[in-house]
Amino acid sequence: MLLEMTTAGLPQDKNVKWTYLSERQISAELDLKQVHVSRYQVKQLLRFRAYKKRKLLKMNTLKQVEGRNEQFEKIAAYRQSFKQKGLPILSIDTKKKEMLGNFSRSGTAYATGQRRANDHDFLSSSGGQIVPHGIYDVCDNTGYLTLGISKDTSAFVCDNLLAWWQERLQYKYPDAETILLLCDGGGSNASAHYIVKEDLSKLAKSLNMNILSDRRCGCSLPALLL
């Protein structure tokens, strides 16, 4: 009865429901009704009824893109071809930027007292901003992370690619003449920006290699383009 009064759901899917009450709040509400149940028991009862903590997932498609399926089939074919030939497949992305300073972070830690953080996350009160950029070597299942203090630009991305190639990747793929580069189409990889295409073209010349990019990046390089 308590859940029925505090449960919402999706009209499109009767199997999806959620409650805005926490385990502690449910236990407290039951105490008021002279039903004494611990938080652990509440958790077990919720699990028995298929309730568990879930996050919102970005799954709803806002628009249909013509040829999307064919695009990914072509990318999959190129990935398979590169993998069979032992050529490098690199997936790149810039993750969430973080400000340096005494700011609130997600997660918890054991402490003997209350830990305090600034009540507002103002960039002016920080010691700078960290830009984490990752490179994932698909064939070798290895990741490389660069923490920058500059802006998230295509030049920053290309500098990271060049640095990691010269330090590690060139020794893994000594005979490679082409790189398959996988990335999305936003931020420092924005396909609509000519400077992204220009910086990647410069990178290809610096490496003296071809760079094959997927269409989501849309980069016009001196090599091939999906």
Query: What sign has the CA pseudo-torsion 199, 201, 207, 211?
Result: positive
Domain ranges of the chain: 2-48, 72-98+128-213
Q: To 10 degrees, what angle do helices 194-207 and 154-164 make?
A: 20
Domain 72-98+128-213 part of CATH 3.30.420.10:
yes
Query: Mean pLDDT by 10-residue block, N- to C-terminus, for the chain (226 residues)?
Result: 65 67 77 78 77 74 78 87 93 87 78 81 81 93 91 90 95 93 80 81 91 54 36
pLDDT at 216: 43
Residue position matching structure tokens 């390089």: 221
Q: Are 21 and 6 in contact (CB under 8 A)?
A: yes
What distance separates the 2 farthest-apart alpha carbons in the chain?
Answer: 76
